[in-house]
Amino acid sequence: MGRLAVMDRDPLVRRASPDDAASIAALYADFLRTYGHEAEPAPILRFLIRMLAAEWTRFFVAVNAYGTFMGFAGCVLSYSAVDQSGALVINDFYVDVPFRRLGVGLKLCRAVERCAVELGATRIFLAADPDMEAALSLYRKAGFEVMPYRSMTRVLPDARDR
Ligand SMILES: CC(C)(COP(=O)(O)OP(=O)(O)OC[C@H]1O[C@@H](n2cnc3c(N)ncnc32)[C@H](O)[C@@H]1OP(=O)(O)O)[C@@H](O)C(=O)NCCC(=O)NCCS
């Protein structure tokens, strides 16, 4: 493999800002598709601009030497009642198909971990589909343990109007 090919795949992982919204949006529809959701580009962009600017979120992006966005992680500030301290929740996690199995996901996990430590948090939470073998394998490698809980959600009445 040539040197340029290696550089092309070597990611810089950094915290994202609202200026990155369009680049993350370019990957976001594919991310949602992994959950069987189809979404239009314009609302995704508006949503990401809001999320990236929110005080209670932390987004990270992996960008290669050519400025190509390889993947992202979106987190929410939370807390752990058990630890009585802050926690981060990984809400979104995606690596674009051409850049998989190159360690990008692991680097994003480490960036989330560093951020949690800087925030004084003691724990990182996430929920994953039990069929998402790649994600479960990555998270195990990054040090996550499976918990005996079920994830639940309630779609609120008139949610689509908000
Ligand atoms: C899951 C995902 C983020 C992994 O990203 P990635 O950059 O390919 O992961 P890495 O290269 O850092 O892999 C690290 C380790 O995770 C495990 N892993 C990653 N992909 C795997 C796969 N397809 N099958 C089995 N193990 C896998 C391996 O242990 C791997 O280490 P190795 O390559 O030395 O064997 C990526 O496949 C993805 O975006 N999938 C679709 C979206 C998704 O599932 N998001 C998570 C939602 S909870």
**pTM beyond cutoff 0.85:** yes
Mean pLDDT over 112-132 rounds to 97
Check: CB of residue 75 under 8 Å from CB of residue 109: no
CA of 96 to the centre of ligand 1 (A): 11
Ligand 1 within 6 A of CB of 52: no
Mean pLDDT over 114-136 rounds to 97
Please determine, for residue 1, whether its predicted confidence score (pLDDT) is greater than 70: no
CA of 100 to the centre of ligand 1 (A): 7
Atom of ligand 1 nearest to the CA of 100: 8
Mean pLDDT over 112-117 rounds to 98
Please determine, for residue 3, whether its predicted confidence score (pLDDT) is greater than 60: no
**What does the pLDDT read at residue 127?**
96
**What does the pLDDT read at residue 162?**
72
Please determine, for residue 57, whether its predicted confidence score (pLDDT) is greater than 70: yes
Residue 61: pLDDT band by 50, 70, 90 thresholds? very high
Please determine, for residue 123, whether its predicted confidence score (pLDDT) is greater than 90: yes
Cα 128 to the center of its chain, rounded Å: 12
Check: CB of residue 125 under 8 Å from CB of residue 89: yes
Q: Give residue limits of the domains in the chain.
A: 13-143
**What does the pLDDT read at residue 33?**
96
CA of 135 to the centre of ligand 1 (A): 5
The closest residue, in CA terms, to atom 20 on ligand 1 is: 134
Residue 122: pLDDT band by 50, 70, 90 thresholds? very high
**What does the pLDDT read at residue 160?**
75
Which top CATH class is 13-143? Answer: alpha beta
